Amino acid sequence: MESKRRKNKERIIELLRQRIEHPDSLQMNAEAKITEHEISVLLNELQVFELELEMQNDELKLSYELLEAERLKFAGFFNQAPVGYFVLDYIGSIEEANQTGADLLNATKKNILGKRFQSFITPNDLENFYFFLHRMKGTGIRQNFEIKLSLHNEQEIYTRMEGVAVINTTSGKIQYYITVVDTTESRIAQQLLVETSQRLKLTLSASSTGTWTMEMSRNRIFLDDFSYTVLGIDTWDFDGTVQRFITFVHPDDQQLVRAAFLGPQQGDGRIELEFRIETQSGAIKEIYALGQQVEGAETHAFFAGILMDITPRKELSRQAENAQEEKQKLILAATFEAQERERDRISSALHDSICQILYGIKLNFQNLKVAGKTAEMQNVNKLLDQAIQETREISYELTPSVLRDFGFAAGIKEISQRFSGFGLKIHAEVEDDLDTLPGETQLYLFRVVQELVNNCIKHAQAKIAEINIFTEDGWLMLVVRDNGKGFDVENEQAWLKGSGLRGIKNRIVLLNGEIKVESNSSGTKTTISVKKDRPNDG
């Protein structure tokens, strides 16, 4: 039925076309006649066709408006994109560009359209740019490239390009779609970073300093090349763990390093310590380590720091300390020597002058016969005897002649005999072969024994004291014991003021010896150790 209607419609349209084309033709057969009904039907259908065309036209208009809105929207995105967009033809001329691209070239879109992009390339990079185009054309996949552009104001910028080659569906020719990003700031920052890194590396190398980093969560420590030199270890002998690092440390310092690197950190996230490294050759290196927790490492503790070989500095410091000690020793030795000379001078004056005068006075008094004055003469003789005795005692204290005349052992025994009887009994045992000690050593030890015995009498209130001097394993040992009331060894004032041990300590320092004092309510024991083979400085 529909097919019949379509054929009838086509016949009517054909007849109308013939009438329009041949309006003067009156010869029409019966089949060419159109009835009123057919014309009415045809008009209705034409009206329907007209309505459908209007509706389609409205839909096309709406679609066009939507497309135009989308085009404008994406045109805005295209122009305001943060990267430069360019469309180049097959020879590199700019067919299209967004506003960012024009701003990048420091020009307007009007001035760059139709201009070859090659004109913005620095001469040294032209060959690379052509190679970039060739790669896009040859591979058909996205390519990237870094290139330097030269702008009209002689300004040069570093850029990064990405692009792809496509075939224009209209012209059938190749077009290049590329994006350009200004990387000048990052490139300059990278160059500054490299330069800074190189300067830092040179500075650290010149100062014998290496760098290290450590991840606490993994117990991993990373050393730069110079750190291996500083530590004197081989790269293949270190597995990067903190535990292995600690094995290179001197045994006496391992606990210190373990606490610093594996223990809880200080409140400011800082690691600072000095330790010793024992190298494979057996040499000892002094190392200074400084580290700081890196800010922003929130997931785990991350430290960065430096390592310095301070062995030469430590050696110089020790030499300076030794020099200072030697200087102090020289001053002490000169002081004691001056004291001994003055004592010797005074002792000689007392012995050779005053004692002789007193003897002369006594002899003259004995030759005098004064009647009735016998008692007075006896008192004078007693006073003279006392004066002579005290003068001898002072002379002996100043210069022990027995030490010079009979030797060290006899001098020490003389002390025990002379001081026994003042409420104190002293027993002395001294090896006889100690008389071969250097004269300076004998004198210093003799003065030390004198001072210790005086302390027993004046301060300790002791009843019994023992003096033992012997040799043991190459050491000369001097031990003095008493059963006195003792004193507080920890109290520095007792050393410097109450017991007068400062002079003892100074003499022991000059002998490069050691002193140890043990004291309690049951008594005091003083032990002094001096190397027996100490060279004679006098």
For the chain, the straight-line distance linking the first and the last C-alpha, in angstroms and rounded, comes to 148
Based on its alpha-carbon atoms, the radius of gyration of the chain, rounded to whole angstroms, reads 57
From 73, 91, 112, the end of a domain falls on: 73
pTM of this prediction exceeds 0.75: no
Give the CATH number, domain containing residue 509. 3.30.565.10
Q: Which residues of 59-76 are buried (b: 16+ CB within 10 A; e: fewer)?
A: eeeeeeeeeeeeeeeeee
Whether the per-residue pLDDT at 295 is higher than 50: the answer is yes
Q: Which of 343, 375, 399 is the last residue of a domain?
A: 399
Binning pLDDT at 50, 70 and 90, where does residue 68 land? low
Decide if pLDDT at 26 tops 50.
no
59 domain-assigned: yes
Owning domain of residue 59: 2-73
- 374 and 342 in a single domain? The answer is yes
Is residue 176 pLDDT above 90, yes or no? yes
Q: How far apart are CA 32 and CA 15, in angstroms?
A: 7
Number of structural domains (the chain) is 5
Shared-domain flag, residues 170 and 271: no
- Give the CATH number, domain containing residue 273: 3.30.450.20
Give the pLDDT score at 364.
62
Same domain, 415 and 527: yes
The lowest-confidence range among 165-169, 315-319, 362-366, 425-429 is 362-366
The angle formed by the CA atoms of residues 468, 343 and 332, to the nearest 5 degrees, is 70
Does the structure show a pLDDT above 80 at 379?
no
**pLDDT at residue 2 in the model:** 57
Given pLDDT bands bounded at 50, 70 and 90, which one contains residue 381? low
The pLDDT assigned to 536 comes to 45
Both 352 and 302 in a single domain?
A: no
Specify if 320 maps to a domain: no
Element (H, E) at 77: helix 36-80
Same domain, yes or no: 421 and 485: yes
290 and 346 inside one domain: no
User: What's the gap between Cα 129 and its chain centre?
Assistant: 47
Q: Is the pLDDT of residue 178 over 80?
A: yes
User: What CA–CA distance (Å, rounded) separates 379 from 364?
Assistant: 15
- Domain-embedded: residue 203: no
- Within 13 Å of residue 183, how many CA atoms lie on the same side as its CB? 14
The residue to which tokens 């024992």 are assigned: 278
pLDDT confidence tier of residue 61, bands split at 50, 70 and 90: confident
Question: Residue 35: its pLDDT value, please?
Answer: 66
- Examine the domain organization and report whether 36 and 89 are in the same domain: no
Q: How large is the average pLDDT for residues 220-224?
A: 87
Tell me the pLDDT of the chain averaged across its residues.
Answer: 77
Q: Are residues 52 and 100 in the same domain?
A: no
Q: Count of CB atoms within 10 A of residue 396's CB?
A: 18
What's the pLDDT score for residue 448? 85
Q: Are residues 174 and 156 in the same domain?
A: yes
Comparison of pLDDT for 205 and 227, the residue scoring more: 227
Q: Which of 95, 103, 88 is nearest to 182 (CA)?
A: 103
The residue written with tokens 């929207």 in the block is: 73
Residue 347 is predicted with a pLDDT of: 59
Phi, psi of 55 (to 5 degrees): -65, -45
Band of the pLDDT at 375, cuts 50, 70, 90? low
